[in-house]
Each structure stands twice: as structure tokens, then as C-alpha cells.
Amino acid sequence: MAPILVARHVTKRFGGLVAVNDLDFEIEEHAIASVIGPNGAGKTTFFNCITGFYVPEEGTIEFEGKEIQGLRPDKITTMGIARTYQNIRLFGKMSAIENVMVGMHPRLSLHWWDAIVHTPAFIRQEKKVLRRAWELLDYIGLAEWANHQANSLPYGAQRRLEIARALASEPKLLLLDEPTAGMNPQETAEMIAFIRQLRDDWNLTILLIEHDMKVVMTISEKITVLDFGTKIAEGKPEEIQRNPRVIEAYLGRGAASGLSTAEATAPAA
Amino acid sequence: MNQWQRRLAYWRRRYDITDVVVWLFGLLILAVAVYGTVRSLQTTTYDSKRWAQFVVYGISQGGVYALIALGYTLVYGILFMINFAHGEIFMFGAFGALFTALALDKAGYWDGQPVLSLIIVLLVAMTTSSVVAVLVERIAYRPLRKAPRLVPLITAIGASFTLQYTARSFFGSGLRAFPEMEMLKGSVNVWGLEIGKSHALTIVVSLLMMAGLYWYVQRTKTGKAMRAVAENKDVAALMGIDVDQIIVRTFILGASMAGVAGVLYSLIFFQVKFFMGFVPGIKAFTAAVLGGIGNIPGAMLGGYFLGIFESLGPALILEGLGIPAPSQLKDVIAFTMLVMVLIFRPTGILGEAVAEKRA
Amino acid sequence: MQNATIWRSTVKAGLLTGVIAIYIALTGMVLSLSQRPVIGKLSLGHVVYMLVFAGMGYIVARRHVGKTQRALVPVHGALVGGLGAALLALLPIVGRKIDLAWMFVTAKPNLYKFLLFNQESTALGIGYLILTGAALGAATATLPVLPPVLHQALLGGASTTLLMGVLAELVQRTILKKALGPLFAYKGLKPWGAAVLFVALSVLFGLYAWWRQNHPQAQRSVPLETGPEPAWKRSLKLGLLLLLLLILPIWLLSKDTYLNSVLNLVGLYVIMGLGLNIVVGFAGLLDLGYVAFFAIGAYTVALMTSLGPLGMGYSFWQALPVAIVFALSAGVILGVPVLRMRGDYLAIVTLGFGEIIRILANSDWLKPFMGGALGVLDIPKPEIFGRVLKEEYQLYYLILAGILLTWFIASRLYHSRVGRAWQALREDEDVAEAMGIHLVTTKLLAFGFGAAFSGLSGAIFAAKVGSVYPHTFNLIISINVLSLIIVGGIGSLPGVVVGALALVGLPELLREFSEYRMLFYGIALIAMMLVKPEGFWPKRLNVYARPDESAPETAQ
């Protein structure tokens, strides 16, 4: 299958610090891939480059054959890339269903004058919005929370709501930033199954950032390992597990065992 | 693709029509300013001495702005909020100075012991400002430190008005005359330039204060702790720094500078009023933004720059445009400059990329 | 141990009470409000500082209930009030020995005399003062100890009676006079009138509290459980409200010019508030230069319609759309450069913009076109179907139409894609952008609507007042509007009306108070954010019902 996202020589610097260094990256359509690496390896920076929040100094990022680096975030989302955040960033004072409705923003077309006059097209569209929002909430199992303020939802529900909000924009590529952070083993297992199901139900390509090695190894078809902004390994889970450079990056530095530190330092909430 | 084509393609993707409109708008103002300047210089009636005096006046005014701007910048650097009430802290400093000066004048010390009197007045003004600042921090800011960003901004505006109108009710709505000092009458001659003594004093004192502040922040333990808190509050707390304490000290430091500014301002204009903090407050904020908010040397530089620009502006730019009574529009120049800076260089002259760092 | 900390907190509260009382006395509020009797000889000046004793006593008592013996609670209250009064007494003691007036302009003998109940003897006056403080503190501290129904009844009765006394003028000028007239003196309540009113109101409040106690399910209808109101109920409510609004000036206010003029002013602020509510409440952009658009609207109408030398002789109805368009354009022109800034920068730049407009209108440069400091005079009243709206109660309908229009637009926008985008923006700008929302156009839209509403308000203002001066349009108006939407409830449309009535209507009715208006706004802004950030009429979450699947799709 053709790659849906291709990054070539992407470099992002902050002053003297090189957060992402000459990164080449590809992800196939309909795949689930992960980016891993120790804290500060540049994973989230890379996500921010894809979604347009940062502009890389060098290199190109192509999405479905179109260059997107340097586009504004809203344009990129409209093209079909959606994301979630490591530390959940819902619109806290809006209700759950309103969060989903905001997610649909790029797929709606009517303007303020339609809203004031309540043109037939507007009424039709709002009905559709409402129906789809309920469908999405049903899908992720949050229908009972629909009219509750988003920041009053339980932690796991907030994570799922963030995914629903991202789905609402009808993405082709979904970026998940540590979707299992702060979850217990059972919730984590559910989330893994859920991510797989997401991919199949919505015909998505999914790119993850993860700290939890177990999650990464179970779910990913391809893993990219970053260290100090540079790609040090790439391949199938089994290959990565055996790769000496990866082991060094995780285990070689510091006294504590790298794998468990990485898990321990992942933000707990 | 060569370098230029790439860059063009990049710009086309990143910027849209609104950006272009903004730049055109900025360029238009710039062009008008340049045209006005050229016309003014062609038709000027002022000689070089007059221009030099404008500059000196601007430097002394700029020193006052710089001192106030430091308060904005210090607080911003540590709390990432604009202390809207800072202009009023300056005003209270001036009132503290006024009452001390009146008392000293009554007792005959004002002209009898001018240097000592000035030092006392400065200390009282610094203390008054600090007390007000600490109160504001304690009541209006501290309880809301974790609230959404709009909230402390609103309390800051509330604090500003509360202080302003408290002063109005306490001290009256009219102008209160600041006693003139015999020692500061007349002028000194520096390289053939007549400089009013009070202006000279302002320039010297503001420079001394700023040097002191810079030393304090760079060298002392408290100063280092301040920088640590500005960098990351949580980590600083883990290092055993009492964050609340450091924030209070930052407010005191900024307020002391504002108190000194209050004295200097009163010595230049000889009048004190409840409303006097408003315009210098906004201008000092402009100065802080100009230099890059959060940046201490930037605030000083911005203050002087704004002072000089504002002092020269009406004669240099507006007169050439044929505008009558241009000095009425002095404030317009300052505000326009604020907008221009924010359009073209929102991080200020010396500013670091705050936006990216905080993202 | 436990006991000691409670007493210590009481003493602290007492000291705080004293500081607040001294502050109020020194602002001069006490003296200038003493001109307005509330009940008999008791003036608003008395009420203001006595309320501090009473209020603090009440607050302390509510905190202490359950922590200490019930019988002791009033003693704590008395201590708070008494201590506060004793501190306040320091002011006349010191002031009669040392002249403070060179510093505090209000610290004059007449203030001391007033505080000491007109007693020449300082000692006797202080005695009265402390006794009053302690009595008030004890009285209000008793309330929380009483059974809840009695507590509610007495509190409601007393505060409403006081309010009626304060608003005596309002009562006497309206239809209420026919019913309550005899209870009132020329100014304020007659003492026996107050007693009657207090008893009657207490009974009413008591009955209500009793009813609520016995019908807990009726206390609040939670829309989450009951779903949205049925349509007929909503329409009926709206219809009644509209009827009330229509008869308000001619029947309830008896065509009284003064009251209707106050009402109209409130109305103009409501229009502005609805506009600023879009900018601040919906989209979370703090605009402090809002008065600029009001000024642009007013000046446009003034210059286009004035019969003076600067006027162009158009009619109000020709000028009105131009005024709105001008204000809107100014909003967009200012918005484009400014809206890409972060929140706090935006506040200060808009503040600067407001000042620029005022300075320009005041300048000699634009004097030939805008009249400079002398302003524009002779603005004719609007005319409709050949009738000139020259009376205040006639203008009311014009303003009401403006409010209904702006309310309608604001509410429709709020419940649409644009409204949701605004809210998202307010919550988290970065995420909103990542959700596909174009920040600049979305913000511009909010700014533009805010400006247009403000322009509309300004246009009507110019026609209502008949003249415009640059000094009218100062920062205070912006702060005024901001305060009223915050007090009412950020983002809440009814909140705007509540805020405008409380912050514009009330001070306008109590003219002696107008000098302290800004002080009051400043304190209100801080207090609201600390104590009640959601405002007095908070915005409620929208409730979305699941669409009816069985309904035929083809209806559209």
C-alpha cells in the first residue's frame, strides 16, 4: 500500500537545541505505527510538526502527496489529520457532546448569516450535526455523559471523548499522544483493543506516541525509535526489541533500568 | 527548487490575506511617519540645540518609563500575567512621596537638608508602593493563580480601578502640588547643553536604580531564586524555594522601582493626582513590550526608546504632516508604536521567543 | 485548643471589620450617602458602615455554627461587631486630636460628628458606636442559630425592607406608590412603615422557605433530568415577558421622565453588554477599548444628523445603518492586526485604541470635522411614521427593539457552528486551531459583532442625549460594560440584563453614590472573581436531546 504520510529530512530547532534532527518517516495507509523514545526525544515535537503547530526549519512532510509542512494547523486538520493530547486537552467547560460538535467544525460549511436567519440548509445541517454527535458518543460509549461538562467526566472517559472529538473531524490519519498514560493494566488492554477497532471501523491510519512498551509491542505494525531527535531504529516490534542501539538508549544511560523508568516517568495524570 | 522558490512556497502556505493586510497597514503607517519626518526636517524651525533638548527630556522621561516597565517585566517574567494595577502602584508611591515631602517642607527640612530629604522621600515612596503591591498580590492574584488566564486579568483590572478610586476618595479628585525644591531649580550645563536639574537628577537616579536592580537579580541569592521560579515554578519548589515568598519579593522589587519612578515623576511635574498612574502605566507597558516582555535589560532599553521617541515624535513626525497642536497627539504616537511593535516584532527588541517556549 | 483558634479567628474577623469600616469612612462614602434617609432618620450613610458590622457578624457566625456552642455564636458576632466599631472609633479619637485632613480630604470634623451620632462628647459617641456595632453583630449572628425557616424569613424581610427604603424614590415614582405610598415619607420609609413592611415581608419569605423545605423536589428543575422545556411553556413565558416589557414604561413607571431615562440608559448598556458578551463571554477575548465603537456609532449619527454647523442633515434612520457599518468596519480594521496577539496583549492594545479614538475626537486637528472638545450639538430625535420620539418613554421602544434584535442575533449565533467555535477558542486556543478552527476569522467575527452592537448602542445614545462630547467616551464606559457582564455572569445573556440593572440602574437611582461607582466596580470585579466567578445569573449548559429517530426525515 502507498504511504499516506511521508516525512523527509525534517529538522526542528529551538535556539541551540535540535529537537528533531533530519528525520525520515513514512506510514502506510491503514497501518498502526508508533514513535517511541526516552523523555525529551522529540516525539511530541514531531507530532507538532505534522499538525502544523510548529514549522520545521528543514525538510518536507507530505500528506497524501501534498506538502503540508508550514500550513496552519486548521488547514492540516481540514485535510484529514486529527490528534489527541498527552495531557488531555478537552474544552473543559463545554459539555461532552459540544466537544464532539466542535470537532465537526471543519466538515461544516454554513456561515453566521445562515445561523441568524435559520435557513433550511442550516436547520438540516444542525440536525445532522446532532445526530452524528450522538452516534459518535454511542460509539465510544459515552452517551450517558453527553450533557455533562467535559471536565467533570472520569479520567478514562475524558481520554475516549478526546478520541471522539478527533474522529468527528473525519480524519484519515489519527495521531494519538500517549493514549494509555495514567491507565491501569485493564484499562490499557481495553484501550489497545479499542484502537485496533477504531482503525477498522473508520478505515484510519493511526500513529501513536507511547511510553508503555507493552502497548507499543502489542499494537504496532511498525515502530520508530527516536533519541535526541534522531531516528536510531525502525522496524517491526520483534526487530526493535532485539536492536542493540534501542536497548542502549533505554538501558544504557543512567543507573535505573531504562524501560521501567520510562514507564514510571510517564505522567500519571 | 532553489532556495528562493522554496521560501516563497513556504510563505505562501504559512501566511494568508489577513497577514498581508496587516503588513500593508503597518507599512502605510511607517510610510506616513517617514514622510512626516522628512517634511519636518525640511521645514523645521528648531535648531540642533532644541532637538538635543528634546532628546534629553526624552531620556529623563524614558528613565521613569523604564523604572515602571521593570515592574511589569519582573511580574510577567515570573507569573506570565500583566499586572494591570502597576500604574496605580506607581501612583501610590507618588502620593507617599507627596505627603512625606509636605511634612518635611512644613518642618523646614525640605530645603534645609535636601539630599537627606530626597533619600527619605525615596524610601517612603518605595515602601508605600511595596505595601500596596503586596496587598494587591495577596488579595487579587494569589488566590487565583491556578484559574484560567482571563480571571487574574480581570481582577488585575479591578485592582487597578479600586486603587485609583480609593486614592481619589482618600486624597481628593484635584491636583495636589508637590513642593518644589530650591536645590533642583535652574539647570546645569553639560557639553553646552542646558539640562534642567530635576531632569538631570532623574536620569542619574533611574540609571543607578536600574544598575542596582540588575545586580540584585543577577548576583544575589533571591535574584537567582527569582530566575529559577520564572523558569519553572514546580521544579523551583522541589529545590526548596518558597515560591510564594519569591513572588512577593518580585512584587516588592517591581513596586520599589515604581515608587522611585513616582518620586522622579513628581519632581519633574510637581503635581500628583489619582489618575496619574494610568497613562504612564500603559506607556511603561508599551516600553516593556518594546524591549521584550520578561526581559529586564529590554524593559530599560524600551523605556528610554519610548521616552525619546515620544518626546521627538510630535515635532519630528506630526508637524511635517501639517497637524496643528501635535503635542496633543503624543499619546497616540505611543499607542501606535505599541501596535506596530506587536505586529512586526511581538517578541520585542531583545525578547526571546516566548510564544514558542510556552507552547 | 479548638476553642482558642475559634476565638482567634473571631478577633481577626473583628479587626478586618474595623479596617473595612475605616476604609469606608475615609472614602467619604458615609458622609455623602448620609443625605439619603432610608428609614426615618437612619440614612444610607449609617446603613453602609453598619452593614459591615452586621455582615461580618453574619459571615463569622455562619462559619462558627457547629464548631462551637450555639449559645456562644451571637457572642462571637457581638465581638466582631464591637471590635470593628472600636477600631472605627479610633478614627474620630485620633482625628479630633491631630489634623488628618491635609492627607485624607474626607477626614473632617463633620465626618467625626456623624460617626459619633452627633455627640459632642467623644466618649459618649464612642460608647454608642461600639454598642451599635456589638448589637448589630450579635443580631445577625443569631440568625444562623435559628431554625432555617425563621432564619430565611428574618434575613429576607430585613434585607428587602432595607432595599425598599433605599429605593424609596423608585417606589414613589412608579405604580407601586398606589399600594405602598403611605408607608413612605418624602424620602425613605417611615419608621412604622418599615416595621409593617418588615413583618409582612418576613412572613412572605418565611412561607416561601417553609414551602421549599416541604417540597424539596420543586427546589430546582435540573434540565439534565427533565429535558428541555416544552415549547408551549417557553412561548407562554416569552409572551408574558414581552407584554411586561411593553407596558413597563407607560404603566409600571407611569411615564415618569426620570425613571424612564434611567431605564433607557440601562437599555443602552444592555445592548453594549450583549455585544461585549460575544467578545469576552463567548470568545474569551478581553477587549478594554469597547467604548471606541460606541463613540464611533454616536459620532456618526451626531455628524450625519446634527442641525448644527457640523451636521449633514440626514435623518436618524439614514444614519443608523451607516453608524453600525462604521463601527463594524472599525472593529474589523482594529481586529486584523490585534487579534493575532495573546490575550493580555489584546487587552492593553484595545485599551490604547479606545484612548486614541477619544484623543482624536478631542484634538484640534480634527476639530473642523468633529467639533473638538466642544462636541456636536443639536442632534434631532428620531422620527417614526411622522412621530418624533421626543419623550424618554417613547425612546424606550426604540431601545427595546435594539435589545431584542441584538439578543436574537447573539442567541442564534451562540447555538451554531460559530458559537461553538467561539467557546472552543475561549477554552483553549491551540486546541481550537487544531480542531480546524481558523483563529483570525473566528475572532474577527466576534469582534465585528461586538463592535456593531456597540455602534448601534452609540447611535441611539447620540439621538437620545442630543449632543456628544469626546469626554463622554472614556475608559470608564468600557470598564462599566465589562463589570456588568462579569457581575451578571460571563457568557450569560440574561446576566447582561441583571448586571446592567445592578451596576447601571442602581447607581443612577442613588445619585449620591455615583461618585463611588468606579470604586464599587473595581471591588466588584475582584470580589466576583474570588467569590462568585460564574456571576449572579450564570450561563447554563445547553442540553441536547437525542434527535427523534422516528421523525420523518423528509420533513425538511
Q: What percent of chain C has pLDDT over 90?
A: 35
Q: Look at A105 and C417 and tell me if their CB atoms are within 8 Å.
A: yes
Give strand pairing partners of A131.
none
Does the residue B32 lie in any domain?
Answer: no
Residues 6+ apart with CB under 8 A from A3: A26, A27, A28, A29
CATH number at residue B103: 1.10.3470
> B343 touching C, CB under 8 A?
yes
More confident residue, C48 or C250: C48
The pLDDT assigned to B227 comes to 85
Which range is most confident: A253-267, B66-80, B83-97?
B83-97
Predicted local distance difference test score (pLDDT) of residue A267? 40
Cell 517585566 belongs to residue: B73
Distance CA B213, CA C127 (A): 51
Exposure of C297 in the CB half-sphere (CA atoms within 13 A): 31
Count Cβ–Cβ pairs < 8 Å, chain A vs chain B: 21
pLDDT tens string C315-373: 889 899 999 999 999 998 888 877 777 667 788 888 888 888 888 888 878 877 787 77
What does the pLDDT look like over A87-145, one tens digit per residue?
Answer: 899 998 899 999 999 999 988 888 888 888 888 999 999 999 999 999 999 999 998 88
Starting from the edge strand earliest in sequence, which strands make up the sheet with A58-63, in order? A17-28, A3-14, A58-63, A66-67
pLDDT at residue A256 in the model: 37
Contact B333/C at CB under 8 A: no
Q: Hey, is the C-beta of B353 within 8 angstroms of any chain C C-beta?
A: no
Q: According to the model, what pLDDT value does residue A255 have?
A: 33
Asked whether residue B158 is domain-assigned, the answer is yes
Q: Are C460 and C316 in contact (CB under 8 A)?
A: no
Domain count, chain B: 1
For residue A20, list its beta bridge partners. Answer: A12
Return the higher-pLDDT residue of A81 and C228. Answer: A81
Spatial separation of the C-alpha atoms in residues C431 and C433, rounded to whole Å: 5
Strand partners, B194: B189
Partner-chain contact A74 C439, CB within 8 Å = yes
Find the length of chain A. 269
Helix (H), strand (E) at residue B193: strand B193-196
Residues B304-325: what's their mean pLDDT? 81
* Interchain CB contact of B238 with C (< 8 Å): no
Average pLDDT over residues B265-289: 89
Q: What is the mean pLDDT of chain C?
A: 86
**Are the beta carbons of A94 and C420 separated by less than 8 Å?**
yes
Grid cell at residue C26: 475615609
Give the pLDDT of residue A81.
93
Residues of chain C contacting residue B25, judged by C-beta atoms under 8 Å apart: 333, 336-337
- Residue C54 has a pLDDT of 92
Whether residue B352 has pLDDT greater than 70: no
Mean pLDDT along residues C430-444? 90
**For residues B36 and B24, what is the distance between their CA atoms, to the nearest angstrom?**
18
**Chain A 29-58, CB below 8 Å of chain B: which residues?**
48, 53-55
Tell me which residue has cell 485609583.
B164
Q: Which three cell numbers stand for residue A110?
A: 454554513
- Do residues C305 and C313 make contact, with C-beta atoms less than 8 angstroms apart? yes
Range of the domain at B291: 54-307
Residues listed for chain B: 359
Q: What SS3 state is found at B219? A: helix
Summarised one tens digit per residue, pLDDT across range C37-70 is 888 888 888 898 899 999 999 998 888 887 788 8
Taking residues A37-49, what's their average pLDDT? 86
Average model confidence (pLDDT) for chain B? Answer: 85
Residues 6+ apart with CB under 8 A from C375: C302, C467, C468, C469, C470
Residue type, A196: R
The grid cell for C396 is: 424606550
Rounded-to-integer distance, Cα B153 and Cα B94, Å? 25
**pLDDT tens readout for residues B32-77:** 888 888 888 777 677 777 788 888 888 999 999 999 999 999 998 8
Per-position b or e across B169-197, b if 16+ CB within 10 A of its CB = bbbbeeebebbebeebeeeeeeeeeebbe
pLDDT band at B355 (very low <50, low <70, confident <90, very high): very low
Rounded Cα gap, residues B144 and B153, in angstroms: 10
Q: What is the pLDDT of residues A169-210, one digit of tens each?
A: 999 999 999 888 888 888 888 889 999 999 999 899 999 998
Residue B2 above 70 pLDDT? no
What average pLDDT does range A260-267 have in this prediction? 41
pLDDT over threshold 70, residue C542: yes
Q: What is the mean pLDDT of residues C507-536?
A: 87
Q: CA dist C462 to C124, C295, C323, C361, C376, Å?
A: 55, 9, 11, 15, 10
> Given A51, A83, A108, which is nearest C417 (Cβ)?
A108
Distances from the Cα of B117 to the Cα of B90, B100, B110, B200, B210, angstroms: 20, 9, 6, 18, 21
Local confidence band at A269 (pLDDT 50, 70, 90 cut-offs): very low
Which of B338, B317, B345 has the alpha carbon at shortest distance from C356? B338
- State which of A247-251, C472-476, C491-495 shows the largest mean pLDDT: C491-495
Confidence of residue B90 (pLDDT cuts 50, 70, 90): very high
- What is the helix (H) or strand (E) element at residue C266, kind and residue range? helix C257-276
Instruction: Render pLDDT for A200-255 as a digit per residue (tens, 0 to 9).
Output: 998 999 999 987 788 888 889 999 988 888 888 888 888 888 888 887 777 655 43
pLDDT tens-digit series, residues B157-199: 999 999 999 999 999 888 888 888 878 787 787 777 778 888 8
Three-class secondary structure of residue C79 per DSSP: helix
| CA torsion, ordered B72, B73, B75, B77, to nearest 10 deg | 160
Residue B356 has pLDDT above 70, yes or no: no
User: What is the ipTM for the molecules in this complex?
Assistant: 0.88
For the segment C255-281, the average pLDDT, to the nearest whole number, is: 91
- Cell representation of residue C246: 411593553
Domains annotated on chain A, with CATH: 1-80+171-269 (3.40.50.300), 92-169 (no CATH)
d(CA A124, CA C555): 10
Instruction: Give the model's pLDDT for residue C67.
Output: 79
Tell which wins on pLDDT, A163 or C222: A163
At residue C224, the pLDDT reads: 54
A70: contact with B, CB 8 A cutoff: yes
Contact B22 C286 (CB under 8 A): no
Report CB contact under 8 Å: B13, A70.
yes
Q: How confident is the model at residue B354 (pLDDT cuts 50, 70, 90)?
A: very low
pLDDT band at residue C228 under the 50/70/90 scheme: low
List chain B residues with CB under 8 Å of C518: 161, 164-165, 168
Give the per-residue pLDDT at A163. Answer: 93
Tell me what pLDDT residue B313 has: 81
A134 to chain C, any CB pair closer than 8 A? The answer is: yes
Q: C113: pLDDT confidence band, cut at 50, 70 and 90? A: confident
Q: What's the rounded mean pLDDT across residues A70-76?
A: 87
- Of chain A, the percentage scoring pLDDT greater than 70 comes to 93
The answer to whether the CB atoms of B13 and A14 lie below 8 A apart is no
Asked whether C523 and B165 are in contact (CB, 8 A), the reply is no
B 16-45 → C contacts, CB under 8 A:
18, 21-22, 25-26
Least confident of A12-21, A159-168, C267-276: A12-21
Q: Are A47 and A175 in contact (CB under 8 A)?
A: yes
Burial (CB count within 10 angstroms: exposed 0-12, middle 13-18, buried 19+), residue C512: middle
Q: Label residue C552 by pLDDT band (50, 70, 90).
A: very low
Domain regions of chain C by residue span:
2-216, 260-474
Q: Hey, what's the cell of C105?
A: 480630604
Contacts of B16 in chain A (CB under 8 A): 72
**Whether the predicted pLDDT of A78 surpasses 50:** yes
Residue B13, pLDDT score: 66
Residues of C in contact with A146 (CB under 8 A): 544
Is B123 in the C-facing interface, judged by CB distances under 8 Å? no
Q: What is the pLDDT of residue C2?
A: 64
Please answer whether residues B116 and B96 qualify as being in contact, where contact means their C-beta atoms are separated by less than 8 angstroms: no
Interval B113-147: pLDDT, tens: 888 989 999 999 999 999 999 999 999 999 988 88
Q: Is the pLDDT of residue C548 over 50?
A: yes
Do B10 and A71 lie within an 8 Å CB cutoff? Answer: no
Contacting partners of chain C (3+ CB pairs under 8 A) = A, B
Taking 80 as the threshold, does the pLDDT of residue A74 lie above it? yes
Cβ separation B162–C526 shorter than 8 A: yes
